[in-house]
Amino acid sequence: MQLTKAMLDQSTDRIYDVLVVGGGAAGLSAGIYLQRYLLSTLIVDKGKARSFWMQELHNYLGLPPDTPGREVLKQGKAHYLDLDGDYLNAYVEEVIDEGDTFAVRVRMGRKNPAYRTFRSRYLIAASGIIDHLPQLADMQNVFDYAGHNLHVCLICDGYEMRDQRAGVFASREGGLEVAFPLGWFTPHITLFTNGDFEVGEELRDRITTAGYRLVEQPIQQFLGENHVMSGVELADGTIVELDTGLVSMGSKYHADYLKGLELDYSGGNLVTDAMNRTSHPRIFAVGDLKVGMNQVAIAAADGAQAATRIWRDIRRLEGTRRRAIAA
């Protein structure tokens, strides 16, 4: 059920089989599988998962290509709640390993927040990432186009950029490297540094050889209307016309709550085994937090795998006890 503040004291008295941090595609998939395995589950979601901002999911099997990410999440949440899973809109601040259980401290609300601690036997980290965007004086100008034709994922949206005039927006030199695989889809590429960094001679030569344009002036604003970006205006008033754009600025990992735990990382990503178990035997990582492709289809599969591995663990430990109790 959807938990409210009035229900919290009753919920904090129980020990869940699994607490899932994050209500995106990976977390909801895990929750659905866990509930179908007759395990008790709580999903704690801070809201606005990365897929929430996707205006159209062009590459998800079986869905119309104009399906927005928020519709997928809405349907997934409804499915999970229909299976009697618990769901709480809150922010996870800390996870403490108590041995047999985890103590998960959450904060609800920004003004006059309430705090509670929940306990679970297993933890699934599904809190995902959020993409860094170009930093302009008027950030609403960026938000107007991000997720529409100002993309953040080449794998998701390279096809949508085919043969168009594409801008690549980076905050460091390495971010410009995405231009070369983007060249598979379109040769009409302009790279923007926004004046934030110097481009080395080696990369500059590669850009020139590929026939791409490099713009190193700061950006004043994006241009367009009705969420369709049509170019940028530079600081000196120059207009660069574009049909589409790709932001390549890295991401923030929503995993600060795991800092007190000793887990293996590769860069910012958690290292997991084939079933998404981390270096801690009762902590799993799914979706964009783990090493692998950042795709909704992969995230949904990750959730299914982690839930199945947890069910097998619990079944092995408990045998047929739970079925006997139910009978």
pLDDT in tens, 40-86: 999 999 887 667 667 777 888 888 888 887 888 899 999 999 999 99
Q: What is the pTM of this model?
A: 0.90
Given a cut of 80, whether residue 168 has pLDDT beyond it is yes
Class of domain 5-130+251-326: alpha beta
Report the topology of domain 133-248: FAD/NAD(P)-binding domain (3.50.50)
Q: Tell me the pLDDT tens digit for each residue of 114-134.
A: 899 999 999 999 998 888 999
Residue spans of the domains in the chain: they are 5-130+251-326, 133-248
pLDDT of the residue at 320: 65
Kindly report which listed range (5-14, 87-96, 167-176) carries the lowest average pLDDT score: 5-14
Kindly report which listed range (23-27, 70-74, 171-175) carries the lowest average pLDDT score: 70-74
Structure tokens at 128: 């995902």
Determine the Cα–Cα distance for residues 272 and 283; give it in Å rounded to an integer.
10
Task: Tell me the CA distances in angstroms from 268 to 186, 256, 260, 262, 289, one per residue in order.
Answer: 30, 11, 15, 14, 8
Q: Quick one: what percent of the chain has pLDDT higher than 70?
A: 94
Q: Tell me the pLDDT tens digit for each residue of 90-113.
A: 999 999 999 999 999 999 888 888
Amino acid at 79: H
Q: Tell me the pLDDT tens digit for each residue of 270-301.
A: 999 999 999 999 999 999 999 988 888 999 99
Residues 6+ apart with CB under 8 A from 73: 23, 24, 25, 28, 49, 51, 52
